[in-house]
């Protein structure tokens, strides 16, 4: 492991016997950046088109910015034109879905299955890819780890 290993900090996180990460609010506030905290722990959304990973294309893996779990692969990523990183598949069992009625809409929120951090929303039936699914994910909720 090199000093620049982007996942090193997550190995320090305490985990429960089932592998979940459950920090209290103060611990999350000190562990995360303010923008990560606002999105992951408060369900915020970054403005469209502002996230650094929106049109990011390199081969590699996308991990949860809260706990470091592997959530998506670059093979899942596609250009949706929506202004946020988009994926049409996920690492099995890495993402949980919750019905979200905020803003008068019925949407499906997606969260990291390990730390319960807010990722974004998932949409189906848009016919953007063969899998017909779009995970619309905040850049602040994920970190990219290059392949190799």
In the complex, least distance from residue 144 CB atom to Zn ion, rounded to whole angstroms = 15
Q: Count H helices, E strands: the chain?
A: 2, 9
Sheet architecture: strand order including 107-112: 77-78, 86-87, 133-137, 118-124, 107-112, 95-100
Comparing CB distances to Zn ion, the nearer of 108 and 129 is 108
- Residues forming contacts to Zn ion in the complex (CB under 5 A) are 64, 66-67, 69, 112, 114-115, 117
Q: Which two tokens stand for residue 114?
A: 């390990």
Q: What is the distance between the alpha carbons of residues 119 and 138, in angstroms, rounded to a whole number?
A: 6
Comparing CB distances to Zn ion, the nearer of 20 and 107 is 20
In the complex, least distance from residue 141 CB atom to Zn ion, rounded to whole angstroms = 8
- Give catalytic status of residue 112 as yes or no: no
Of 67, 112, 115, 136, the active-site residue reads 136
In the complex, least distance from residue 95 CB atom to Zn ion, rounded to whole angstroms = 10
Active site residues per annotation: 136
């Amino acid at each position: 492991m090199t000093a620049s290993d982007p996942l090193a900090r997550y190995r320090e996180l305490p985990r429960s016997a089932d592998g979940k990460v459950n920090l209290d609010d103060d611990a999350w506030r000190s562990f995360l950046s303010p923008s990560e905290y606002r999105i992951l722990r408060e369900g915020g959304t970054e403005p469209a088109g502002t996230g650094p990973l929106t049109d990011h294309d390199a081969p590699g893996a996308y991990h949860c910015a809260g706990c470091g779990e592997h959530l998506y692969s670059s093979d899942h990523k596609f250009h949706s034109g929506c202004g946020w990183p988009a994926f049409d598949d996920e690492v099995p069992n890495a993402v949980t879905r919750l019905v979200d009625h905020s803003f008068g809409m019925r949407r499906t929120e997606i969260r990291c299955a390990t730390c319960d951090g807010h990722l974004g929303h998932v949409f189906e039936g848009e016919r953007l890819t063969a899998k017909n699914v779009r995970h619309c994910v905040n850049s602040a909720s994920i970190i990219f780890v290059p392949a190799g």
